[in-house]
Structure 1
Amino acid sequence: MHSAPGTPCSTVSPLGEERCFRTDFQCLVGRPGFRIRNDRRHHRARPSARHGRKRGACHQAIGRSRGGLTTKIVALVDALGNLTRFVLLPGQRHDSIAAPDLIDGIDMQALLADKGFDNNHLRDLLQETETKVVIPPKADRKQPIACDFAMYRWRHLIENFFCNLKQFRGIATRYDKTDESFAAFIFLRATHLALK
């Protein structure tokens, strides 16, 4: 005995008669009111390929360099070796990229930096503000530029700052996931060093 779909069934016909068990069974069981879409099934352990990544290291100043995933701290200290400003960069970025942001709006008489900051753009910015440039020229410069090496000796202040900053293991190895919390720990450690 068969019944039309959607009408209640009383019995299920035997398999031997017309071999149409499926229609009677569907009538008895019914269909669920909702369906699970294929892209919502959890048959793989990764997000769907059509959606962009919402999280990750792309905006957290984490980049790949020779040592793996790293973050660069480009800092500016005053004449006493206390932190004035700093910028976080991914590990593969060059240090001199952060220099214009560090010196923007700061009145200073001289800027001491290593050879990595020797570029014409930074020197032009410092000449506009009449700041003395104490940066040794790179070896590949066609025309050598004079440098006050007696004043350059005071660059040890930034090296001492980084040496003391990296005594804190959470900064030396960057335990923090976000750049905001990492920057907060740098400010905290720099304040502790300035109060000593």
Structure 2
Amino acid sequence: MGRSRGGLSTKIHAATEALGLPVRLIASPGQRNDIAFAHDLVDGIQAAATIADKGYDADHLCDKITETGADVVIPPKRNRKLQRPYDADLYKERNRIERFFNKLKQFRRVATRYDKLLANFMGFVKLAAIAIWLK
């Protein structure tokens, strides 16, 4: 968990399968950028395509995804010198991961982040993910 002037903050990074069910969950300090934990998130996951938002746009991540044989569906940042093409129609499927986060936040303990220890917080995040799988 990260500490800021406002208190403790944590980001949850999730990899989901095609139906929006979680495959891997990683927590990071709230003040860190998304790309710092992207390699851990995609490491060892086999997929036909990897869809992510602009926060994950980096050449080293795109190269790693391409090495696994997956298509990279990450829109390029506006300030990128060499704009990279991506499949805009397939990118529309990213709403499934947003819906997963919505389902995850239906669990009050996860949404309000009562826990001070990362292990306890991630335990409840994973418990909520199991409940989502079982529905």
Same fold (TM over 0.5): yes
**Deviations 1:75-126, CA, capped at 9 Å, x for gaps:** 1111011110011111110111111111111111110000000011101111
What is the aligned counterpart of 2:2 among 49, 59, 62?
62
Compute the displacement of 1:64 (Å).
2.0
Q: Percent identity?
A: 48
Q: Matches of 2:88 and 2:109 in 1, distance apart?
A: 35
Check whether the contact 1:108–1:131 (CA below 8 A) recurs between aligned residues.
yes
Q: Matches of 2:35 and 2:65 in 1, distance apart?
A: 13
Match of 1:20 in 2: none
Q: Matches of 1:192 and 1:110 in 2, distance apart?
A: 26
**Deviations 1:122-154, CA, capped at 9 Å, x for gaps:** 011112212100000000011211010100010
Compute the displacement of 1:62 (Å).
2.6
Specify the SS of the correspondent of 2:98: helix
Match of 1:93 in 2: 32
**1:159 lines up with 2:95 in the alignment:** no
Check whether the contact 1:77–1:85 (CA below 8 A) recurs between aligned residues.
yes
Check whether the contact 1:64–1:90 (CA below 8 A) recurs between aligned residues.
no
Q: CA RMSD in A?
A: 1.3
Q: Matches of 1:128 and 1:106 in 2, distance apart?
A: 12
Specify the SS of the correspondent of 1:184: helix
Specify the SS of the correspondent of 2:78: coil
Q: Matches of 1:63 and 1:125 in 2, distance apart?
A: 31
Q: Matches of 1:69 and 1:177 in 2, distance apart?
A: 8
Match of 1:115 in 2: 54
| Structure with greater contact order relative to length (CA < 8 Å, sep ≥ 6) | 2
Specify the SS of the correspondent of 1:89: strand
Match of 2:66 in 1: 127
Question: Following TM superposition, where does structure 1 have runs of at least 4 consecutive aligned residues deviating by more than 4 angstroms?
Answer: none
Check whether the contact 1:111–1:134 (CA below 8 A) recurs between aligned residues.
yes
Q: Matches of 1:136 and 1:149 in 2, distance apart?
A: 8
1:102 alignment partner AA: L
Match of 1:55 in 2: none
- Return the structure number with greater strand share: 2
Q: Matches of 1:63 and 1:173 in 2, distance apart?
A: 16
- Return the structure number with greater helix share: 2
Q: Matches of 2:83 and 2:116 in 1, distance apart?
A: 43
Q: Matches of 1:149 and 1:180 in 2, distance apart?
A: 37
Q: Which runs of 5+ in 2 are unaligned?
A: none
So what's the TM-score if we normalise by structure 2? 0.94
